[in-house]
Structure 1
């Protein structure tokens, strides 16, 4: 790797962004954004509070720190903030939501004179019996202070649990949709905020299929995303990306309903590696690949180097 490339790459990684989760898109051939960060916790901290403070999801902070007790941290404990991402394998257009990662990526149209960027935020998605659908749709409406009209299926579920729901929940602090909602072309599905009682559930499979965001995140996106924006839902527990001459893998636990034994994950990873490196000689580190597939931390791991021709 040349000194010039290293300098450019370092400058790109250090570039300030509009807000904490907006990154300048890397040049063609580079597919990672952000930086892995660490903080020193206080004994008063928990993963819930740290995730909320640093705009992370519950699952991703837990996976990135598997040896720590989420509830019992000591003063000075180092906590990894997984703010380094392999971009999903999807067109860099509109919203791309990787369901097993429980993370949304928004690629706004570049503004004149400004570099292209990507905005990313943690989300909650549908639990196994109310799975968030895959495929492509669009934002068909933007609603401020939405009224929540619970579907009959959700009313029935709550009634069975002894928690009957009203026919409609007006705007306000108890509305589970929060203050902002993006209505999708798939009937009954929204990207929306949340009430205070559910803020700490962001980054988990807890919804009835909709996509739930922190209140400040949906407020920012609501202001920027126009009606008609493309929304693509993908299922990519394994992502691959180049950074210079190195190939990285990012592995998340697969959705339970889709299976995910080590053998299945290895087969999928090898297929993705073959597709990613077609015609490119690499030196694969099998032990790194195995560790990434076993640990599934959601943090990018270097698994191969491009073999450069001899001068």
Structure 2
């Protein structure tokens, strides 16, 4: 089954291509490009997000003045599809909760060796946060059966929506068609029967992907793959001598208000540790943190710095 899925994906590459990037050259940390599209009359931002493999919140943050439900014919929409890679080992799966995005670094023997593959996520809502830390995929399943934990069944019962003890595969199963079970007990990376929730904090702690994204990921990873779950609202990295900062709302409610600039400063210092005399434009970095729209911003360039007396 898994080999069949991979063959289908390879034959239908355009459907997956938007999520696949070349690994940056040594010393570089940025992939992708910011793009723009014009909406169609019938579009909502939920439609645009899924069509371009973007989470709803990240698309909304990059387009704060666009009506999410009635953008209208020909409205300009920014696609925030440039990414500073997280400050984490570039192997296996890295999930950054602040940006609600997964990065997959295939092994050297993979058909996707030399690539970075990234997908948007739906994650745990406030009070049912997705855990941080390092674990592994312990097993995988297609058409999984869901056994709702007692706490979730209690919550649903209190809301007048009782759940059975066992939910079989099918359209009513919130795990979707594929699931990757983690070493953290009761936590999974899985599909969903409610794709509009991708890019939002809506789950009970598990990690959701668009149905087409989990199908692709399921075909590429195996039990034993390392999974690192991190929380980096501020990322800093290089592209051809230019330092970029990428900022996301630092709290679970998606507010952009900065409580402390310390995490931002730490991320920039980490990125410039090999270039301690690099003149960072801290005003631009601070503005990026306050805007928190997820679009990488240049905060300094080596060529300009070298010309400064």
TM-score by length of 2: 0.89
User: Could you say if the C-alpha distance between residues 113 and 123 of structure 1 is closer, same or farther in structure 2, counting changes exceeding 3 Å?
Assistant: closer
Query: Per-residue deviation at 1:261?
Result: 4.9
Query: Is 1:287 the counterpart of 2:262 in the alignment?
Result: no
Query: Per-residue deviation at 1:283?
Result: 2.6
User: Could you say if the C-alpha distance between residues 283 and 95 of structure 1 is closer, same or farther in structure 2, counting changes exceeding 3 Å?
Assistant: same
Query: Per-residue deviation at 1:113?
Result: 9.3
User: Could you say if the C-alpha distance between residues 132 and 115 of structure 1 is closer, same or farther in structure 2, counting changes exceeding 3 Å?
Assistant: closer
Aligned to 1:98: 96
Distance in structure 2 (CA, Å) of the matches to 1:156 and 1:100: 28
- 3-state SS, counterpart of residue 94 of structure 2: strand
User: Could you say if the C-alpha distance between residues 289 and 223 of structure 1 is closer, same or farther in structure 2, counting changes exceeding 3 Å?
Assistant: same
Aligned to 1:204: 200
Query: Per-residue deviation at 1:277?
Result: 1.6
Map residues 129-278 of structure 1 onto 2, 5 A cutoff: 129-195=127-193, 198-256=194-252, 261-264=257-260, 266-278=261-273
Query: Per-residue deviation at 1:183?
Result: 0.6
In structure 2, list runs of 5 or more residues that go unmatched.
Answer: 1-13
CA RMSD of aligned residues (A): 2.2
Query: Is 1:19 the counterpart of 2:17 in the alignment?
Result: yes
- 3-state SS, counterpart of residue 96 of structure 1: strand
Query: Per-residue deviation at 1:263?
Result: 5.0
TM-score by length of 1: 0.89
User: Could you say if the C-alpha distance between residues 179 and 288 of structure 1 is closer, same or farther in structure 2, counting changes exceeding 3 Å?
Assistant: same
Query: Is 1:58 the counterpart of 2:56 in the alignment?
Result: yes
Distance in structure 1 (CA, Å) of the matches to 2:41 and 2:306: 48
Distance in structure 1 (CA, Å) of the matches to 2:98 and 2:290: 16
Aligned to 2:9: none
Q: Following superposition, which runs of at least 4 residues in structure 1 exceed 3 angstroms of deviation?
A: 111-115, 256-261
1:76 is aligned, of 67, 74, 77, to 74
Aligned to 1:28: 26
User: Could you say if the C-alpha distance between residues 135 and 53 of structure 1 is closer, same or farther in structure 2, counting changes exceeding 3 Å?
Assistant: same
Query: Is 1:110 the counterpart of 2:108 in the alignment?
Result: yes
Residues paired across the two proteins, number: 293
Query: Per-residue deviation at 1:290?
Result: 2.4
2:119 is aligned, of 118, 121, 129, to 121
